[in-house]
Structure 1
């Protein structure tokens, strides 16, 4: 049976921090990118999948419902996965579709209009805060952390 080593929201999806810091340890062998737009774009999907890491990590791209279907099918088979969501709303969609996670790391959400920083690398607005509250209130641990060696900030200390 597979295992989700980390579920993370990072709108940059795959980048140096994810590939070099968050995938180390835990026996991670796969990164699943969850972004509805990328999953629907065969060209972009192929780019991600074809960039399989030189470190031996498999990269797969799913929509929020596809990743939940894959989980329900066989709990990701033998993969030990870092699941990277582009948007908080896609986390909620995947959970509603049947994906099961114990914790959610929110580590990279860029500043947009009507958003405020909760940590230096995460800016959320009212809609994202409401979704995070639903996720948190469902029993999933939500925390904010940019990289493993940076300070971990718990949901209750920044979302009121």
Structure 2
């Protein structure tokens, strides 16, 4: 059975902070990108998947439906996974599609119109994001905010 080493929301998906900071020290051998738009775009999907050769990690791209199905099928096989979601809405959709998470790190959400809360410097949330995070936490997922492993972890208090 596979293992989810980290589930993270980061609107930039795969970038240096994710690949260099978060995959190290966890025994991670795979990064799963969960983003409906990327999963539906064959070119972008191939760009992400091709990055595995540079870091030695397997990269897979899933829609929220596909990641739920993959978890239900075999709990990700032998992969030790860092899952990176584009946004909290797609985390909730993935849970609704059968993915199981114990914890969720929200670490990268750029400021956008309608932002009303900024729990840490790298995370800006809309009212809708806050409602979605509450719904995720209400399902028993421990949610926290943290930019990089060495930064302070701020637990969601609902």
Please tell me the TM-score bracket, short chain as reference. Answer: over 0.9
1:21-53 residue CA offsets vs partner (Å, 9 max, x unmatched) = 100112100000000000000000001001115
TM-score by length of 1: 0.96
Gaps of 5+ in 1: none
2:62 is matched with which residue? 62
Q: Which residue of 2 aligns with 1:33?
A: 33
- Identify the residue that residue 126 of structure 1 maps to in structure 2: 127
Task: Return the alpha-carbon distance in structure 1 between the equivalents of residues 42 and 48 of structure 2.
Answer: 10
Please give the alpha-carbon distance, in whole angstroms, between the structure 2 residues aligned to 1:90 and 1:55.
26
- Where structure 2 has 5 or more consecutive residues not aligned to the other structure, the ranges are none
Displaced runs of 4+ in structure 1, greater than 6 A?
Answer: none
- Whole-Å separation in 1 of the counterparts to 2:54 and 2:23: 13
| 2:111 aligned residue | 111
Q: CA RMSD in A?
A: 0.8
Q: Deviations over 1:55-81 (max 9, x none)?
A: 310000000110111111100000000
Q: Deviations along 1:113-141, whole A, 9 cap, x unmatched?
A: 11131210000011000000011111110
Alpha-carbon shift at residue 7 of structure 1 (Å): 0.3
- After TM superposition, give the deviation of residue 3 of structure 1 in Å: 0.3
Aligned to 2:156: 155
The separation in 1 between residues aligned to 2:26 and 2:10, in whole angstroms, is 20
